[in-house]
Structure 1
Amino acid sequence: MSYIAKRSQNPWFQVIQRLSRHKLAMTSFGFLMLLSLLCFGANTIADWLNVDPYADDLFSRFALPSESHLLGTDELGRDIFTRLLLGGQVSLTFAFMAALTTSIIGTIMGVIAGYYGGRIDALIMRSADFIISLPGIMLLILIQSVDLTKLGFSEELVRSDSFSIYRLVVVLSLLGWPFAARLVRSNTLSVKHREYVQAAIGYGASHWFVMFRHIVPNVIAPVITATTLGIGGAILTESALSFLGFGINPPTPSWGNMLQNAREAMWLYPMAAVYPGLMVLMTVITINFLGDGLQEAIDPKS
């Protein structure tokens, strides 16, 4: 059998083929790739425009769009365009890390619960039910408002840009894994009784080998779709927390804290709030379109 024929029978190759025929999903994918290139090239674009996105200029507050400031300036005279790109860099990085970490933890817990069953399954699922029953946004605000300097962390570390991102990723992952775990557990319960899994166990394969060699590859498809959709949810969560003042620490820009900073100047220059809000809206919508297309490609019967 030729290489092309073998590849055409590969289920993941068939998924890619079906996805490539989904026009809305591919358009969304193209938009996200372009947005990512612009956001992660923000420093280069700032140098090219000869602007400093962190420099305050109170004499240029709420300046109208010009050649040097393509979208005008904010309440401190900073360039909105380059800060939008830097904010996208932070928001996209956080959302990807949070969604990926949540899916990894949820997949591991779901496979363990579904494979072993019994008390282990009951313990994991009851823990998941308890976390799901908690008021998510209120708990996030409560955890984010804790002063970690009183727990022994240095103030320099707590105030650093990366720490605020990692802290939010950890919190969101610990509160979000039950949704992925329940999805994976239900698929694991059906896969573990199939003939090839029972044959591997009969030949003396270890439990961990069976789980990660035979079960995980067969339950990962819906997790990929859930992870894609989770990126959009993470962006909304970060934006909401930053808007309320519990997210990414200023002066590091994110779309959420740009909205929060522009709130008091809505009547002076409303576009300072419109631009980050529009970026959040467009990004989340395109991610959802891509997730829907990926779901249809993985499961055409859906």
Structure 2
Amino acid sequence: MSYIVKRSQNPWFQVAQRLSRHKLAMLSLVFLCLLALACFGANPIALWLGVDPYADDLFSRFSPPSELNVLGTDELGRDIFTRLLLGGQVSLTFAFMAALTTSVIGTVLGVIAGYYGGRVDAFIMRSADFIISLPSIMLLILIQSVDMTKLGLSEELVRSDSFSIYRLVLVLSILGWPFAARLVRSNTLSVKHREYVQAAIGYGASHWFVMVRHIIPNVIAPVITATTLGVGGAILTESALSFLGFGINPPTPSWGNMLQNAREAMWLYPMAAVYPGLMVLMTVITINFLGDGLQEAIDPKS
């Protein structure tokens, strides 16, 4: 009985309860879970359908939907359906990595700035203001267009499937952490003056112990919401960069470079562009619905 009472008093259990009553957020969560299962099961699905998503067949370019190719074929005769799933695998992995890395860096720097104050706070916040003032899309395009082989990296590494993903995650994290840092800093300034924090300091607890044990757990709630919404923003950024030719390198499929590849064939087979665009639209909308529901669950007064 005491376990049930203790569990019901847990704030995160109460958040889960409130979230479960938000129908639109739960529908979005179910959709995202099914989408993730389908995307990360792309290879078994392709094997079951008997298609190779990487195999070119120029004699079957822009074929209409058939029993073998559920959504037809693209400009190189490749199966669109399995490539959509593989593209979703890449886009979702990139988006979650970028949002999580950005939030971790922003949370750590925001807590340090708010807790220590003074010159540390001024240095971190002025650095954040400088990064925010930069034209992010132009800077992303500039950094992505740099030939990394001229910086000493091997051509094999630069052309690998994972390099373009990690590189884009790193760049987005560097440009995106100030937003999370400013959010965390403002909450840290409020939390560090509360009685339990001052009591821990008075008992001789180290600064790092106070930050990890008492401050971060009390400022992490809005960061979780911001991270969820950041996933949608990362998907849009990757799609835009890949559409412009500066994102995920082909032949690795992503929803953005699938849009870019279908651009020149819009009049021949417009559905080749509609399908990845629709996936981006539905995924970002459901992530935003889930983020709104999570924000209401974490802060019912908002």
**For 2:206 and 2:167, how far apart are their aligned partners in 1?**
35
- Deviation for aligned residue 1:262: 0.1
2:180 aligned counterpart, secondary structure = helix
**What does residue 288 of structure 2 align with?**
288
Counterpart-to-counterpart distance in 1, 2:237 and 2:119: 33
Query: Structure 1: 5+ residue runs without aligned partners?
Result: none
SS at match of 1:71: coil
Is the partner of 1:72 in helix, strand or coil? Answer: coil
- Where 2:250 maps in the other structure, the secondary structure is coil
Secondary structure (helix, strand or coil) at the match of 1:64 reads coil
Q: How far apart are the structure 2 equivalents of 1:175 and 1:185?
A: 17
**Residues 1:164 and 2:164 are matched in the alignment:** yes
Q: Distance in 1 between matches of 2:77 and 2:223?
A: 43
Question: For residues 67 and 39 of structure 1, what CA distance do their matches in structure 2 show?
Answer: 20
CA displacement 1:67-104 (0-9 Å, x = unmatched): 10000000000000000000000000000000000000
TM superposition outliers: structure 1 runs of 4+ over 4 Å: none
Cα distance between partner residues in 1 of 2:240 and 2:259: 9
Percent identical pairs in the alignment equals: 90
Q: How far apart, CA to CA, are the structure 1 residues paired with 2:182 and 2:292?
A: 20
Q: How many residues align?
A: 302
CA deviation after TM superposition for structure 1 residue 204, in Å = 0.5
Tell me the distance in 2 between the aligned counterparts of 1:188 and 1:31. 35
1:258, CA displacement in angstroms? Answer: 0.1
In 1, Cα distance between equivalents of 2:287 and 2:80: 24
* Separation of aligned partners in 2, 1:251 and 1:216: 41
Between the aligned partners of 1:288 and 1:161, the Cα distance in structure 2 is 29
Q: Distance in 2 between matches of 1:245 and 1:212?
A: 41
**SS of 1:190 mapped into structure 2:** helix
1:167 aligns to what SS in structure 2? helix
Cα distance in 1 between the residues matched to 2:257 and 2:14: 41
C-alpha distance in structure 2 between counterparts of 1:185 and 1:121, whole Å: 9
C-alpha displacement at 1:116, in angstroms? Answer: 0.2
Deviations 1:121-162 (A, max 9, x none): 000000000000000100000000000000000000000010
* Counterpart Cα distance in 2 of 1:124 and 1:161: 34
Residue 6 of structure 1 aligns to a residue whose secondary structure is helix
Distance 2:121 2:201 in 1: 20
Residue 275 of structure 1 is matched in structure 2 by 275
Deviation of the 1:242 alpha carbon: 0.3
Distance, in Å, in 2 between the alignment partners of 1:157 and 1:279 is 30
**TM-score relative to the length of structure 1:** 1.00
Q: CA RMSD in A?
A: 0.4
Aligned equivalent of 2:196: 196
**Post-superposition shift, 1:2?**
1.1
